[in-house]
Amino acid sequence: MKHPVAFRSLRWTLALLAPCLFAGCGDSDEDDDNGPLYAVTTQLLADDPVESYVVVTSQAEQTSTLSLDNAIKVPGRALGVGVHKSGTLYVVTDESAVVTRYKLNDSRGLDEAGTVSFSSLGVTSLGEYQANFHFVSDTKAYFFDGATAQVVIWNPTAMTVTGSIPLPALVIPDTVLAFSGAVARVGNQFIMPVGWRPVSGIGITRKAGVVSIDTTTDAATIATDDRCGYTHDIAVGSDGTVFLATEAYGAAVRRVQGADAPEPCLLKFNPQTRTIDPTFYRSLEGLVGGGTAGALIPGPQGTAYVRVLDESIAPVLEGTHPRTIASGTGWQWWELNLGTLVATRKSEFPSTSGSIFLYESENQTLYTEFGAGAASTTLRVLGESGRPTLTTRGLSFSFVQLR
């Protein structure tokens, strides 16, 4: 699991949410008709069959509980993606290659407004991470598909496929190629981390990777490094330095497999040369004084957060799967100064799940906290001691402000 990242400065009552907004259904008569509206997509993974729900709500920054009554139901694991405050949402699922566009109507509901399929390029599933979709302009967007090792280029206005960027150099036999849910934009360059894991069994591949795309020419450059693996997290320093780090899952694999797994690490990527710096390497465990450490979550300007597992809260039992560890509670927050590389424990932040996503609302940056057994997602404010806001059933891997 990953977090979608918006690289701009991060900005630092129990009431039931009324039925979700669909086809004219509103949150409350007291809500500001012109206030912010958000599309939340949640996946009910415990259901059989798996289904997802797309809900429009105004209460992303308030302590509230999201109702799924009257929501848009989508089979499989769905995502809602789109441009911030555009009034348009593109809904996809892991059960097909079809993108369905929805437009926000005057009743604060969503009207279907066209589809496009990526199947002509061999794509069969679209349900990975929100950040796998990147919107360059009104007429150009990318979709990063690990299964086919390519980037689909499509027009979100005309709802047509316009091309692709094949990436065969990323294919490693007997591994699964996974594009990250955390990305960066530096000027005209879109930077996507890449990770690999074995097709079968538990583990990660000892290889770090980055795909950088010039959004003006669609030219792609691939950089790799064999010193560590699963560097799915990315953050940009105040001087423009791009850092890559092993995500929480990679740290959990290290905790379970010990020295047989790559050490969680911090690397540097140079956007000018589009290479990984061979002279720079830091152990994430070393930065926080030891323990199970992973992740690099963008913080206030010039900082990022590393997560450290507190086993007094979340003990690791024999046979525990790394996914369970990474998604479970007990991960502390440590603030890393990206200039000095000094990390400090943030004890005012509650320990939460290790794998998270970042979402931008009108006034806050929110992060996800996943409940046990994939039962729920609570959004918390990044800052304000992790104040909880919206809670929904299932796992919410995508969030878009519609207006």
Q: What is the pLDDT along the chain (403 residues), one digit of tens a residue?
A: 444 333 333 332 222 223 332 333 334 333 557 899 999 999 999 899 999 999 999 999 999 999 999 899 999 999 999 999 999 999 999 999 999 999 999 999 999 999 999 999 999 999 889 999 999 999 999 999 999 999 999 999 999 999 999 999 999 999 999 999 999 999 999 999 999 999 999 999 999 999 999 999 999 999 999 999 999 999 999 999 999 999 999 999 999 999 999 999 999 999 999 999 999 999 999 999 999 999 999 999 899 999 999 999 999 999 999 999 998 889 999 999 999 999 999 999 999 999 899 999 999 999 999 998 889 999 999 988 899 999 999 999 999 999 9
Residue 260: φ, ψ to 5°: -70, -15
Q: Are residues 160 and 295 in the same domain?
A: no
Which residue from 401, 337, 392 is spatially nearest to 368, judged by alpha carbons? Answer: 392
Q: Which domain holds residue 124?
A: 1-170
Residues 141 and 282 placed together within one structural domain of the fold = no
Does residue 186 form part of some domain? yes
Distance CA 215, CA 223 (A): 17
d(C-alpha 348, C-alpha 224), whole Å: 37
Residue 400 lies in a domain: no
| pLDDT for the residue numbered 127 | 83
Contact call for residues 255 and 322 (beta carbons, < 8 A): yes
Of 170, 202, 237, which residue is a domain's last?
A: 170
Q: Is residue 129 part of a domain?
A: yes
In a shared domain, residues 188 and 253: yes
Residues 187 and 166 in one domain: no
Provide the pLDDT for residue 32: 59
254: its two tokens:
């290290």
Residue 362 lies in a domain: no
Give this prediction's pTM.
Answer: 0.90
CB-based burial label for 371 (10 Å; 0-12, 13-18, 19+): middle
Same domain, residue pair 104 and 200? no
Do 190 and 152 lie in one domain? The reply is no
On whether both 10 and 125 belong to a single domain, the answer is yes
Q: What is the pLDDT of residue 17?
A: 29
Q: Is residue 321 part of a domain?
A: yes
CA 21 to the chain's CA centroid: 24
Nearest to 179 by CA among 218, 253, 122, 233: 233
Contact indicator for 133, 152 with CB cutoff of 8 Å: no
Q: Which of 121, 144, 170 is the last residue of a domain?
A: 170
* Domains in the chain, number: 2
210 and 333 within one domain = yes
